[in-house]
Chains A and B, each alone.
Chain A
Amino acid sequence: MTSINEGRRRVRALLGALTALVAVVSVAALASAAEPPRSVIQRTIDEVLAILRDKGRSSDQRRKDLEAIARDRFDFMTMSKLVMATNWKKLSPDQQTEFVDQFTRFLANDYGARIDRYHQEDVQITGEQPEARGDHTVKTKIVGGDNDGAIVDYRLRQQEGGGNWLIIDVVIEGISLVANYRDQFREVANQGGPVVVIQKLKEKNANPSAPVPELEPPKKSESPKKS
């Protein structure tokens, strides 16, 4: 009898060890898989709100911390290509590198400033959906404050080879950041070529809090933009 009990105990111990092994392996597998988009956004929201709620931080420090989050979560390379659209290929590789660098600085700063002044008390994830090209949208809603109820959608794209999910667009109340800057950059490029966009980005980055730019004079050229 004892030997039978002994045997059972061994089997149980073995099973236990196997179970533990399986658990360890699957946890490891999970860890190596990319963090899902929804969780990326949830983590971002938590970090942003923690910064905004921390009254101890100076306004400057807040902006810097928010910028750091943007640098970590946005796919600036993809965003650069999207906002430049057909003008992207008109830039030389060096100019492309420069563009990404300048646009990264601009966007990180712009994001930090926006979030900082976009008085929000809480942000809730309201849903998510797969999109074309394997993208994924996570929908959020601002709760409380002057912008109560505002809908903010984050579109994410996974880096190649099962890499991280990074944000490629922020759509607020239906207004896509990428579409908005793309339209502006196209206008700028139409007036002086795509290189002027880089130049304007540099000017803006050199003085992020520059006063209201001069009014655009009515355009002289007749033809509506072709391409």
Chain B
Amino acid sequence: MGRALAAALLLMLLADTAAAQDPNGGGVQGVTTADSDPAGARSPWDPWERFNRKVFAFNEKVDHYALEPVATGWDYVVPHRVELCISNFFENLMLPTRFANDLLQLKPWKAYETLWRAVINTTVGIGGLFDPASSWDVYKSDEDFGQTLGYWGTPAGPYLVLPLLGPSSPRDTAGLIVDSIPYLYIPPYTLIPWYASFGGTAMNVVNRRALVLETIREERKSAFDWYSAVRSAYTQNRENRVHDQAAAPAKPGATPDEDLYDVDQ
């Protein structure tokens, strides 16, 4: 379900760079929210909630009337395996972002893996359509500049919902912009004509949405307040990624929000 929630967020990121951002999160924010939120630090800090809810409602409308129907049609026509290939292909194109941010976070081993992965998947994986690297235990990096900023101590700031792009924060919005700049200058990418990158982006967005159709439908069903469900998921998952908690076991009691588990509050 976790991945489901993460996917829920992903879908909201209509941008091609979706993979470069997703959920954001709690530890550093926890400190800042402590005053206004005695209930616990994992609670997102959302002083712009009124504005955010409006943008969120707008994004939901766009999804409901445009993206979801198109993705449903796409999903009907395109076999699941092909959808996965398309998803792999676009992820493979993210190499510069991943590689640079691995290095910026002083993770040379990860950077090496990222590079090796791209080599394997571009050749053996036929231009990135397949992902043989993962089955050889060369796993993908999900680093982006928002996480790099977090790694060096920049707090995420308040929760922020961007029009069309979805859940974010000032830190992650900055990260998103920085991550997209290199693509304007790196040779192979600069050769792509504007209409091709436009079409590719649209295809990627629709394809990503198609892959999470059922997940989002189900997550909506089990939500009591969809806005805060997404906010919580984004914030938590993002923080989790900044600290690479999935990869390395946290130190005992190091969870940023121990109050979450206090029954006497």
Contact = CB atoms under 8 A, between A and B. Distances in A.
Task: Please report whether the interface of chain A is mostly helix, strand, loop or mixed according to DSSP.
Answer: mixed
B23 interface: yes
Contacts of A150: 2-3
Given A133-B261, A215-B226, A173 B246 contact: yes
B166 to A, nearest CB: 15
B227, B232, B237 interface centre (most CB from chain A within 10 Å)? B232
Interface string B216-237: 0110111111111101110011
Contacts of B245: 174
Interface stretch (B12-20, B36-44, B179-187): B36-44
Contacts of B214: 117
Contact of B261 (A82, A173, A180): A82
A139 B245 CA distance: 11
A151 B231 contact: no
A127 interface: yes
Interface in B96-140: 134, 139
Given A151-B2, A169-B260, A173-B240, 20 more contacts: A81-B263, A82-B263, A117-B218, A118-B4, A169-B261, A175-B23, A179-B42, A179-B43, A179-B232, A179-B257, A180-B232, A182-B40, A183-B228, A185-B224, A187-B225, A210-B221, A213-B226, A216-B226, A224-B36, A225-B37
Interface string B240-252: 1100011001101
Contacts of A168: 261
A39 B214 CA distance: 33
Interface string A88-120: 100000000000000000000010011001100
Contacts of B37: 225
A82 B222 CA distance: 18
Nearest to A216: B227
A186 interface: yes
A225 B40 CA distance: 13
Interface string A195-213: 0010010001000111111
Contacts of A200: 224
Contacts of B227: 187, 216
Chain B contact-residue range equals: 35 or more
Interface in A148-190: 148-152, 155, 157, 168-188
B36 A135 contact: no
Given A183-B232, A218-B54, A175 B237 contact: yes
Nearest to B80: A146
22 contacts: A118-B4, A132-B261, A133-B258, A151-B246, A169-B260, A169-B261, A172-B3, A173-B6, A173-B237, A177-B1, A179-B232, A181-B224, A183-B228, A186-B43, A188-B225, A213-B226, A216-B225, A216-B226, A219-B49, A224-B46, A225-B36, A226-B36
B225 A212 contact: no
A4 to B, nearest CB: 58
